[in-house]
Homo-oligomer: A and B are copies of this chain.
Amino acid sequence: MFVRITTDQTSRPNSLKHFRLASSSNPIVNLGEYTYKKGKEIYGEKEPAKYVYLVTRGAVRSYKLLSDGRRQIGAFHLVGDIFGLENGGTHRFTTEAVVETTLRLMKRQSLELVAEKDTLVSRDLLGLTTSNLQHAEDHMLLPGRKTSLEKVAAFLLEMDERLTAAGKISLPMSRRDIADYLGLTLETVSRAVSQLHKAGILEFIGSTQREIAILDRGLLARIDLHN
C-alpha cells in the first residue's frame, strides 16, 4: 500500500502549511475530478463527510450561516489545498465554489482504512488536521486586530503568501466574501483597499479590482502588526 500525504515545509516561519497527496493517482482512493460551477455547493453543513477534496483549479469558500442570515466564512481553499477531512465524520461547514473550480475526490473511508494499518499515514492525517488547526488559530487572532485596515492588510498578506503568481495577487473572491471572512462589511473592505491604494502600498492591474500588486510588503506587515 502506498498512500502518503507529505508536508511542504518550505514556506515562511508563520505561514500556512500546504499538503500534497503523493497518491493522487492511486485508483483505490482517487475517484477522479469534478468541476463545479461558480457558486455551486460542494457539501452542506452537517452532511456526512464521504469525500476528501483536493483543489486543482479555482477556489472554495467554507462558511457557516447564522440564524439572521449573516455568513461567516471560516476559510478559503485554494489550488493545492486539501479540505473536507472531518474527524467526526460530519461536515462542520458548508462549502461552495467561489469561481469555476475543479476538485479531485478521494474516499474518506479508504484513507482512514489505510491510516488504520499504516502509522505513517495516520501521522500525516494528523499533520493535515494540525495544518487546519494552525490556520484556525491564526484566524482566531483576528478579533484582536482593531481597525479594518489591519484586518484587510492581514488578509492581503495571507493571500499573497498563498496564491502569489509572479508578484501579482489574483483574488478569486468578491469584496463580500472578504468581508464575511474578516467580519466586516463589503463597503468597509472596499474603503480599506482604496486607502491602501491611495497610500501607494498596492496597485490595481487590469480592468478588474481583483488583480492586485503589492508594492510595499513591509509597510503592509507593519499595518497588520501580526506578531
Contact = CB atoms under 8 A, between A and B. Distances in A.
Interface of A: 64, 66-68, 70-72, 74, 87-88, 92-93, 115-117, 119, 122-123, 125-127, 129-130, 132-134, 136-137, 139-144, 146, 180, 182-183, 225-227
B226 A66 contact: yes
A227 B66 contact: yes
Contact of A74 (B67, B119, B122, B140): B140
Contacts of A67: 225, 227
A116 to B, nearest CB: 6
Given A66-B225, A67-B225, A226-B66, A133 B140 contact: no
A70 to B, nearest CB: 6
Q: How many copies of this kind of chain does the complex include?
A: 2
Nearest to A150: B66
A143 B74 contact: no
A180 B72 CA distance: 21
A70 B150 CA distance: 13
A187 B99 CA distance: 43
Contacts of A115: 119, 123
A141 B87 contact: no
Nearest to A226: B66
Nearest to A45: B227
Contacts of A68: 225
A143 B144 contact: no
A70 B136 contact: no
Contact of A141 (B64, B141, B182, B226): B64
Contacts of A72: 140-141, 143-144
Nearest to A135: B136
A83 to B, nearest CB: 13
Nearest to A92: B137
